[in-house]
Amino acid sequence: MRPVVPLIGGEVDLVTGQGTVAGRSFVLTDAQRALLRHLIEAEGTVTREVLEAALGLAGSSRAVDTAVHRLRARLEVDPRAPQHVISVFGEGYRFAPAPAPRNTPHVSLGLPPPRTALLGREAALRDVLSLLDDVAPVQIVGMHGVGKSSLAIAVAHASERARVVYLDLEALRGDDLWSDLARVMGRSVAGSDEENRAALLADLRMHPRTLLVLDGAQRFPDAVVALVARVADEVPSAGVLLTSTVVLDLSRARVHPLGPIELDAARALFLARAAAVGATLEADAALDELVERLDRLPLALELGAARTRTLGVQALLTRLDERFRWLVDSRAEISRHRSLHAVLALSWAELPEEAREVLVRLSVFRGPLSQEAADAVLDADARWLPSLIEASWLVEDAGRFRWLDSSRAWALEQGEPALLDDAIRRHARYQLDLLERLLGAGPLVPAVIDAIGAAFPDLWVVLERGVTVPTEATTLAERLFAWVRVVGRYAAFAKALDELLDVLPTAPRRGVLLRMRSLCLTQTDRIEEATADLRRAEEEGPPDDEVDRLLARAYLAVRGNRMEDARVAWEAALEVSPTSRVRAYAEHGLAIAARRAGSYEEAERHFHRSLAAEADVPSYRSNTRVSYSVLLHGLGRTDQACDQLALAVRELEPLRAEGTLAQTSYNLGMLEAERGRWDVGMAWVERAETLWRGLGMNLRVAKAVIGRAALFLEAGELDRADLLLEEADEMGVSDAAARWSASLTRGVFATLRGTPGDLGEARALVAEMERNDVNAGATALFRRFLDVASGLDPGAPPPDNGSVGMRWVGRVLQRYLERRPAGGSAP
């Protein structure tokens, strides 16, 4: 057995255990070397029993699986997709060796050494070698920086041709390719042009298994086409491999398009290049975001990795809006590869003026675009699209076009202001028309919700360009708001409205924008800002619709805890317009007012009327069910409250209403735990946390984390609760109600631990909670719990009613009393 075993992307020494894969170093333990040695010696399937015996783990299948998992983490480029240690279902594992390298050419003329390991290009290498087995020329086509030259050089080294002649056309001054080839081949160029061509062709006939590699063929396309055509006619056995940013017009040529590498390979390449400059990085979500924003282009990845030693991943991410300034490496061997700017400038210079204008116009699109969308900003210039796709400026995907981030950023920078302004206005009109068509197709059913979601990046960019297209941006914001309320994108929409209001200080519809932002801020728990927006909206002037004015006034009264004023406004709205839409909103509001006034039967009647009406937002009935469940729970009808929440979940799931679905899931989880279904409750709260994280609603995420901590406390798992409370503390909680909830949970945790220091912390927390007066009932019960734990209260059973927080404290106190030894204080 060879002591050094070749691996894909590296090798490992079986004697020392030292190895490298994808640019990272590792050392195998003795057990891992033994495991690898037995796998290699078996030359095929190895049963689990053999491995167990080899490792001294007889009867311990799980330990073998763990050992294999750890071995893969060292040997494989991507342990999730192993290429060496392969699982065999029902048998065990087998070792698959690295593919044997193809023979190196006997003679290489002008061929550089392989540049770097071709991470992510293994399949491309095999495909191009296979294409070269035919006699037709092969073109590797892709944009600058995608790795065409590296692939072509690797193909040349792996080729079984007897001789390779390599010519870098990017380095030439003129298009006399015959003379340049002759020099590379060591032949004289003293004769006439035709004599030189004849001599070169005679040389190729003497070496019929020659492979010509012409790198950068787009530089002199006519000369390349003429040369390749003559070689193909007179020496058909010679192979020709071209790299180009465009497809050349060559008869019978085979084209291999080269695009970005896959995510796993891009991640591995970035980590390897970062390690080479001394940076130690983690393969995490931030790194994946970075390699995606670098378009998974090998050159951009290498330039970015070179920056991580001083910047790090997060800092580089924040600088990608200025990527042409930061993606620079003066040490690169090839001058055009020293910056992303240089590479794209070279590609840009190769385009006709008309094609450049097409790219500038299309750069106003942020997301994928259809042919219809392209036509909206291009007029008759769409004829350039096929050639721009060939040149890799655009990517065709399932009948649509999309940009690479770097290419779009470059084209956007090149546009003249007048040209860009015209394209921006056309883009805005198209997006508004698209939204009107989608909304006009009927109610917000899932298909419409998904279609708007697919158009979301470009709808959003219209809002960002409000200073250029104020009318379109304002109208689009108003029309888009119904979709935002369904899917719960409140945080992002509030941010977009921030920017729109900043650039439109005197917009005629400014009051409408303020009201929309107020609702978004409320949904993200920024209550004081939301209230201020409503007041400013009133100052800007009433809405066009009297009903909207009354509903806004009622909402503002609720925020100020003026429930009587709110009730009057809702009743007035019903008198002005007793439509189903207004009934849904007003009856819901009247139900809340009645509940707060203690008129529970009246509140329930209003809830039933609201549920019977149809609001203009499909998810509104589910919101009403959530409010109704609060009333039912307060009346001790927890099973019915859970039924309402379960109905709301079923209504919300097909609507993609993730924000409302998250809140509903959270409420359902806490109530399920209350009625003794702890595991079910925890699952619902975890689901809410996942949804809120996806929406970027960090305050709600903290709420879910605190909720999970509370459930673990109830189950007596103090260590797990402690970790979650620390996580919530790190998030920071600004909302008063959320701070109270965190203080209550932290205080109960300290009380359960029961040391003098913990009890002192709990006393400080309860004193702060009493000053804030957020939930007096639960706070008072917590004070009593603390007195019981401190020996100041004999410990009468807690009440079984009240708010969710109060009932939770009561349950924890009851279990505390049940576990307490007779006559003792703390268990």
Look at the block and give the residue holding tokens 């204008």.
357
What pLDDT, on the 0 to 100 scale, is given for residue 641?
A: 93
Domain 4-95 shares a fold with domain 351-415? yes
Contact between 408 and 358 (Cβ < 8 Å): no
The pair phi, psi for residue 107, each rounded to 5°, is: -130, 130
The CATH code of domain 4-95 reads: 1.10.10.10
Look at the block and give the residue holding tokens 């600004």.
734
Hey, which residues does 93 pair with through a beta bridge? 46, 87
DSSP string, 190-223: -S-HHHHHHHHHHHHHHSTTEEEEEETGGGSHHH
The burial of 383, by beta-carbon neighbours within 10 Å (0-12 exposed, 13-18 middle, 19 or more buried), is given as exposed
User: Which sequence spans correspond to the domains of the chain?
Assistant: 4-95, 107-257, 263-344, 351-415, 697-827
The CATH code of domain 351-415 reads: 1.10.10.10
- Angle, alpha carbons 163-167-169 (nearest 5°): 160
Hey, which residues does 397 pair with through a beta bridge? 400
Q: Quick one: which of 710, 700, 631 has its CA closest to 662?
A: 700
HSE toward the beta carbon, residue 118, CA cutoff 13 A: 20
Helix axes 298-307, 263-276, angle to 10 degrees: 40
What pLDDT, on the 0 to 100 scale, is given for residue 827?
A: 41
What pLDDT, on the 0 to 100 scale, is given for residue 309?
A: 81
Compute CA 204 distance to the chain's CA centroid, rounded to the nearest angstrom. 53
Quote the CA–CA distance of 248 and 251 in Å, as a whole number: 9
Q: Which long-range contacts (CB under 8 A, 24 or more apart) does 782-788 make?
A: 782/744, 782/747, 782/748, 782/751, 782/809, 784/813, 785/748, 785/751, 785/809, 785/812, 785/813, 785/816, 786/747, 786/751, 786/759, 786/762, 788/813, 788/816, 788/817, 788/825
HSE toward the beta carbon, residue 663, CA cutoff 13 A: 21
Hey, which residues does 256 pair with through a beta bridge? 140
What pLDDT, on the 0 to 100 scale, is given for residue 60?
A: 47
Quote the CA–CA distance of 727 and 188 in Å, as a whole number: 75
Tokens representing residue 428 in the block: 């805005």
Contact between 148 and 195 (Cβ < 8 Å): no
What's the CATH class of domain 697-827? mainly alpha
Tokens representing residue 163 in the block: 């001789």
Quote the CA–CA distance of 10 and 3 in Å, as a whole number: 14
Quote the CA–CA distance of 28 and 299 in Å, as a whole number: 32
What's the CATH class of domain 107-257? alpha beta
Regions of the chain short of the pLDDT cut 70: 1-2, 23, 43-63, 88-91, 100-106, 115-117, 189-191, 329-338, 380-382, 441-443, 507-508, 525, 541-545, 559-560, 616-617, 732-738, 772-775, 777, 792-806, 819-827
Read off the amino acid at residue 771. R
Contacts (Cβ under 8 Å, ≥6 apart) of 447: none
Tokens representing residue 554 in the block: 């009622």
What pTM was computed for the model?
0.64
Contacts (Cβ under 8 Å, ≥6 apart) of 528: none
Quote the CA–CA distance of 243 and 140 in Å, as a whole number: 5
Kindly report, residue by residue over 597-652, the tens digit of the pLDDT.
Answer: 888 999 999 999 999 988 766 778 888 999 999 899 888 899 999 999 999 999 88
Q: Quick one: which of 520, 524, 405 has its CA closest to 457?
A: 405
β-pairing, 138-141 with 254-257? parallel
Give, for 569, the enclosing helix (H) or strand (E): helix 563-576
Give, for 24, the enclosing helix (H) or strand (E): strand 24-27
Quote the CA–CA distance of 746 and 465 in Å, as a whole number: 45
Q: Quick one: which of 599, 594, 545 has its CA closest to 571?
A: 594
* C-alpha distances out from residue 502 to 467, 527, 533, Å: 9, 20, 14
Give the single-character DSSP code of 15: T
Terminal-residue alpha carbon distance, the chain = 64
**Helices (H), strands (E): how many in the chain?**
38, 15
